[in-house]
Amino acid sequence: MSEVITGETAVDQVVIGTAAAEMAPTSEVVLETHGVNVYYGSNHALHDTSLAFHKGEITALIGPSGCGKSTFLRSLNLMNREIRGCRVEGEIIYDGRNINRREENLYELRRSIGMVFQQPNPFHKTIYENIVFAPKRHGLRGKENLDALVEESLRGAALWDEVKDKLNQSAFSLSGGQQQRLCIARTLAMHPDVILFDEPCSALDPISTLAIEELMQSVVKERAIVIVTHNMEQASRVSNRTAFFYMGDMVECGQTDQIFQRPKDKRLNDYLTGMFS
Ligand SMILES: Nc1ncnc2c1ncn2[C@@H]1O[C@H](COP(=O)(O)OP(=O)(O)OP(=O)(O)O)[C@@H](O)[C@H]1O
């Protein structure tokens, strides 16, 4: 049950970014959940969560530490299956089917629903090989095709100009921000319909953070993006829609400007005004 706020809720700390405000949402739902519950053993960490993610939209998941944001994000491409003792119930609908079933091919699914993690995690390979590794395993052949994919993906991740002359160097010769963009390029190389970002900028400086945010906005047109972030300014700058989680409940979801400027739930208002973090 949500506590509804009455009267003025002057949430002035966060200025809504024009980029997010200008992005026109489309109505095509790419991925949606119905009544998702997640358990770690006996800990019921996420309660009955239903959300839809639209093509062309960035959705930010916000809320205090331990409220279930990453748990929910990980359930969207069945990453929670990698965690021993974790159980996910409910429907996760992608491409016309419920993917939360044992027969789902995780290898194929994660091509379509990619994920970028908090810490950049390139492979111990060259920049070039980082991009083509998975596409080759999925059958892509021919130097011309591979070269074209490398260039397209690195351009998509705004990294091409910085690395085009050193594609055969180790990915670890890059800075942290460049490594994160390489990980995004690696994800883009699979042409995913959805990209999940789990606090992708928390290890980065402000300039690299801005580069990642611009990058998300440039690649969202073709897909849906979901981002977990602790940075309220980031959520307001990049997202079209924001969902607020609290103690395992998805408490409120709406257009980002409504969430930040006219929150309905008292817990959301308290969170935004810094009464707890
Ligand atoms: N691998 C795990 N094993 C057991 N319990 C977990 C695991 N991951 C998360 N949890 C539990 O699930 C609940 C939600 O955690 P989760 O990491 O999803 O929250 P969060 O909102 O993403 O937090 P943060 O912002 O700190 O990353 C917490 O009670 C946490 O202890």
Residue the block writes with tokens 């950049």: 120
CA 107 / ligand 1 centre spacing (Å): 24
Query: Which of 71, 76, 246 for mutating ligand 1's site (highest number of atoms within 8 Å of CB)?
Result: 71
Residue the block writes with tokens 């400027």: 261
CA 48 / ligand 1 centre spacing (Å): 16
Q: For ligand 1, atom 26, which residue shows the shortest CA distance?
A: 65
Task: Provide the whole-model pTM.
Answer: 0.90
Q: Could you give the number of structural domains in the chain?
A: 1
Q: Domain for residue 244, yes or no?
A: yes
Nearest of 103, 100, 81 to residue 91 by alpha carbon: 100
Helix (H, G, I), strand (E, B) or coil at 250: strand
Query: Which of 69, 119, 199, 202 for mutating ligand 1's site (highest number of atoms within 8 Å of CB)?
Result: 69
In this structure, are residues 257 and 16 in contact, taking their beta carbons and an 8 Å threshold? yes
pLDDT at 18: 40
144 CB burial (10 A radius; 0-12, 13-18, 19+):
exposed
Q: Domain for residue 46, yes or no?
A: yes
Any idea what the CATH number is for the domain that residue 92 is in? 3.40.50.300
109 CB burial (10 A radius; 0-12, 13-18, 19+):
middle
Q: Domain for residue 62, yes or no?
A: yes
Q: Domain for residue 11, yes or no?
A: no
pLDDT at 259: 97
Cβ-based neighbours of 262, under 8 Å, separated by 6 or more: 9
68 lines ligand 1 (CB under 6 A): yes
pLDDT digits (tens, 9 = 90+) for 101-160: 999 999 999 999 999 999 999 999 999 999 999 999 989 999 999 999 999 999 999 999
Q: Domain for residue 5, yes or no?
A: no
Query: pLDDT-based confidence at 269, cuts 50/70/90?
Result: very high
- Considering the chain, what is the average pLDDT of its residues? 90
Sign of CA dihedral 193, 196, 202, 203: negative
The proportion of the chain whose per-residue pLDDT surpasses 90, expressed as a percent, equals 85
pLDDT at 274: 86
Instruction: Give yes or no for residue 192 having a pLDDT over 50.
Output: yes
Q: Domain for residue 260, yes or no?
A: yes
Tell me the average pLDDT across 29-35: 98
Instruction: Give yes or no for residue 12 having a pLDDT over 90.
Output: no
Query: pLDDT-based confidence at 9, cuts 50/70/90?
Result: very low
Task: Show the beta-strand stretches assigned E in 126-207.
Answer: 194-198
41 lines ligand 1 (CB under 6 A): no
Domain that holds residue 227: 18-100+107-272
Query: pLDDT-based confidence at 1, cuts 50/70/90?
Result: very low
pLDDT at 27: 75
pLDDT at 43: 97
Cβ-based neighbours of 194, under 8 Å, separated by 6 or more: 30, 31, 53, 76, 77, 94, 112, 113, 114, 223, 224, 225, 226
Number of Cβ within a 10 Å radius of residue 137: 9
Q: For ligand 1, atom 7, which residue shows the shortest CA distance?
A: 40
Q: Domain for residue 217, yes or no?
A: yes
**To 5 degrees, how large is the angle CA 136–CA 162–CA 233?**
95
ipTM > 0.95, yes or no:
yes
Instruction: Give yes or no for residue 24 having a pLDDT over 70.
Output: no
